[in-house]
Amino acid sequence: MNQGDSEFDHPGFRRGVEVDLRDSEAVISLAARTCSFDFPEQVRSAVAGFLRDLETGGYVLSDLQGRAPDIADQVPGLIGEFGRLRLLTESGTGASAKVIDGTQLYRELRRVANRVTNRVASSAFYRALVEGRAQARQLIGYGLEYHWLVRSAPGLIAPALASAHGLAGRRLLEEFLASEIGHDKFIGAALQSVGITPDELERHQPLPSTFALGASLGVYARQHPISFKACLFVMEETRPEFIDAFDRRCVELGMPSSFYLPLRQHADLNSEYDHGDISGDLLALEGAVDAETCMVVKRHLALLIETMVQQEEHILSYYGRTDTPMPRIFT
């Protein structure tokens, strides 16, 4: 960003610029703005060629100089002056990389999610449930981690509201936020039925992977809202077979229905609000998404899914031990 650099890689006249080339003067105008410069008659053809090249666009500064050797020394100064007067724009094709709309991005994201999910593993927790390996402590641990995410959700979502600039997007996020408020009560009640006190629940520190999920969503909501919107569908997908397996395993282990029923109620509540397609609804409002943004979003989505897989493994391993604090309270 030094002043000597041309501000455009391929300077070209903006649309609407008119050139009036006289014997020894060129007048360049755009709407009410006009600039003119004088030149010796013997370089008139070089000036004409140079101005034509700017009308055509697509040349870098050294090309413009090479194509008009008689005025090569004056070219940088003229380009600088034309730029200052806003007569030039970037005329190269490099900047206009592929742009897609939000709905097409969502199509691609669903496929990315499927591929990543298939690659990294099926649900370790689900397998432990259906194979009868999950122990009561692990089921309670699952509830504790789930509770932390649910109670954190409104705070993670809310920052996205400030950058929702259109009415439709704002409404969707407001309704989504409203539908997430207070859900921790269900899960809190479930955990109290297995002996976790409200005070313990408040002081429980999540597992690192649980915290990473919350922190990622919260940071994206502030820092890269389109990533936040794109990641919601994986968090909100209802998995009825998981809930059924969870219930069955709780019954097998003789755990009270007051523990597993509220978890089911919460899952039912989520499907009532049809959260499953919140990402699709929000991304449909994105008119143009450039290639780099698509890449960043896909990276974030893949990371989130990997972290969700890690979280299930961490719940199984951490709460599978009996020598670790549960709830995780560190003083």
Q: Which residues bind another protein (CB under 8 A)?
A: 1-3, 5, 7-9, 14-15, 31, 84-86, 89-90, 95-97, 99-101, 103-104, 106-108, 110-111, 114-115, 118, 162-163, 165-166, 222-224, 226-227, 277, 280-281, 284, 286-288, 290-293, 296
Structure tokens at 254: 């003789």
Closer CB to another protein, residue 84 or residue 203? Answer: 84
Where would I find the H helices in the chain?
44-56, 61-67, 75-84, 102-120, 124-130, 136-162, 167-180, 184-192, 198-203, 208-223, 225-236, 240-252, 257-272, 278-283, 291-320
For the bound state, the minimum distance from the C-beta of residue 55 to another protein, rounded and expressed in Å, comes to 16
Closer CB to another protein, residue 16 or residue 254? Answer: 16
For the bound state, the minimum distance from the C-beta of residue 300 to another protein, rounded and expressed in Å, comes to 9
CB 59 within 8 A of CB 52: no
For the bound state, the minimum distance from the C-beta of residue 14 to another protein, rounded and expressed in Å, comes to 6
CB 311 within 8 A of CB 149: no
Closer CB to another protein, residue 138 or residue 279? Answer: 279
Q: What sign results for the dihedral spanned by CA atoms 36, 37, 42, 44? A: negative
For the bound state, the minimum distance from the C-beta of residue 3 to another protein, rounded and expressed in Å, comes to 5
Q: What are phi and psi of 322, to 5 degrees?
A: -105, -5
Closer CB to another protein, residue 18 or residue 268? Answer: 18
For the bound state, the minimum distance from the C-beta of residue 124 to another protein, rounded and expressed in Å, comes to 22
Comparing CA positions, the residue from 296, 131, 149, 168 lying closest to residue 215 is 149
CB 303 within 8 A of CB 216: yes
**DSSP 8-state assignment for residue 20:** E
Closer CB to another protein, residue 200 or residue 237? Answer: 237
Closer CB to another protein, residue 3 or residue 42? Answer: 3
For the bound state, the minimum distance from the C-beta of residue 166 to another protein, rounded and expressed in Å, comes to 6
Cα distances (Å, whole numbers) of residue 78 to 28, 59, 129, 132, 241: 11, 15, 73, 78, 70
Comparing CA positions, the residue from 158, 145, 232, 228 lying closest to residue 190 is 145
Structure tokens at 279: 């990402």
Closer CB to another protein, residue 86 or residue 203? Answer: 86
For the bound state, the minimum distance from the C-beta of residue 141 to another protein, rounded and expressed in Å, comes to 33
For the bound state, the minimum distance from the C-beta of residue 154 to another protein, rounded and expressed in Å, comes to 18
For the bound state, the minimum distance from the C-beta of residue 268 to another protein, rounded and expressed in Å, comes to 23
* DSSP strand pairing (18-21 vs 33-38): unpaired
Query: Residue 279: helix, strand or coil by DSSP?
Result: helix
Closer CB to another protein, residue 77 or residue 325? Answer: 77
Structure tokens at 284: 């449909």
Structure tokens at 146: 């789930």
Closer CB to another protein, residue 139 or residue 294? Answer: 294
